[in-house]
Amino acid sequence: MLRILRLPALDQVIEILSAQESETLLMAGGTDILPRPAALASTRLLIDLSQVAELQGIALDAEGRIRIGAAVTHQEIVDHPLIQRKAQLLSMACSSIGSVQIRNLGTIGGNLANASPAADSLPALVCLAAEVALASPRGIRFLPVSAFILGPGRTARAADELIESVRIPVVTGRRVAFFKKAGQRRGMCCAKASVAMCAHRHGDGRLTKPRVAMGAVAATVISVPAAERVLADRVLTMAVIEEAAAACCEAAQAIDDIRSTASYRRHVVGALLTEGLAEIYDHMQDLARRQARRRRRRS
């Protein structure tokens, strides 16, 4: 018989988890769990996390990182000024999740726990060097997202642990970022493949510290060091973009499934990177032209 506990405080959840009751399911928004018809069939205890006070809120933590509570919804992330200013890439990625209805229910913690290879938030979190905070009776431990996600539906969360929050280091300076996704349609779709990128932008047209990550082209979200190496410290040109795109295609280990084909996925990650970088390139050209005009006017 299914029992539902809607708990208000983190320590209550942790207490139950440490009791190691079998067939306990943690749920926040439910947008990944409830569409599956058999999801609740074998569950005896469902813990509804959506009201847990400690899992709410977006703010800077003691170390100056952005802390996003695990039960914060995708739409709250999209709308939050701190995210828009300091982690715009995540805002972009979360805005492409499902529909607004789904974004109003689904949470960042749930997206992590579900560990879908196609999850939109994950490539962004990887690029932003985000860490997952896991709470347990032993306290809180931090794991980089890439270490937390182990495979489709598999994470490094221990049975008595709970995703408490996501922490994102704040980086200063001029940044560029994009999240691009190929779906089965434009509105509300699951990614056939996705690419996230962020980097520092310099006045001379160089990008530094680029981070590139891809979704739905491997068993987990993957970062693409080869593409990052191509982009790092180089003036962005269409030739550089082409080279980085090829590195993305090379890195994809895609499969065929009902949504798309392996070969298309391999192809399209390069295309998505090209699109995103070309827009950045055009943007930087535009800035440079404007700057030149200003300089001419001054002289």
> Nearest-CA neighbor of 272 among 176, 152, 192?
192
Nearest to other proteins of 11, 256 (CB atom): 256
β-pairing, 206-215 with 222-223? Answer: antiparallel
Closest approach of Cβ 141 to other proteins, in Å? 28
Closest approach of Cβ 286 to other proteins, in Å? 9
80 binds other proteins (CB under 8 A): no
Number of residues that bind other proteins (CB under 8 A): 48
d(CA 99, CA 82): 22
Residue with tokens 């990887």: 126
Within positions 16 to 35, which residues make up the interface with other proteins, using CB under 8 A? 29-31, 34-35
94 binds other proteins (CB under 8 A): no
- Among residues 182, 198, 222, 251, the one that binds other proteins under rule CB under 8 A: 182
- For 269, the token pair is 């990650």
d(CA 263, CA 241): 20
Closest approach of Cβ 272 to other proteins, in Å? 7
Nearest to other proteins of 2, 60 (CB atom): 2
Residues 113, 30 contacting (CB under 8 angstroms): no
Cα 272 to Cα 126, 234, 245, 257, distances in angstroms: 17, 20, 8, 20
Helix axes 238-251, 262-298, angle to 10 degrees: 150
- For 282, the token pair is 């055009």
d(CA 31, CA 102): 7
- Among residues 12, 99, 208, 291, the one that binds other proteins under rule CB under 8 A: 99
Question: What sign has the CA pseudo-torsion 125, 126, 127, 129?
Answer: positive
- Among residues 105, 240, 246, 255, the one that binds other proteins under rule CB under 8 A: 105
Other C-beta atoms lying within 10 Å of the C-beta of residue 166: 29
Nearest to other proteins of 35, 173 (CB atom): 35
38 binds other proteins (CB under 8 A): no
81 binds other proteins (CB under 8 A): no
Nearest to other proteins of 100, 171 (CB atom): 100
Cα 201 to Cα 83, 244, 275, distances in angstroms: 19, 17, 17
Within positions 196 to 255, which residues make up the interface with other proteins, using CB under 8 A? 238
- Among residues 240, 243, 264, 287, the one that binds other proteins under rule CB under 8 A: 264
Nearest to other proteins of 18, 56 (CB atom): 56
Residue with tokens 């050209």: 285
102 binds other proteins (CB under 8 A): yes
Nearest to other proteins of 64, 187 (CB atom): 187
> Nearest-CA neighbor of 49 among 139, 110, 115?
110
Closest approach of Cβ 37 to other proteins, in Å? 8
Closest approach of Cβ 155 to other proteins, in Å? 22
Name the site residues for other proteins (rule: CB under 8 A).
Answer: 1-4, 6, 29-31, 34-35, 40, 46, 48, 50, 75, 98-102, 104-105, 182, 184-190, 238, 258-261, 263-264, 267-268, 271-272, 274-275, 278-279, 281-283
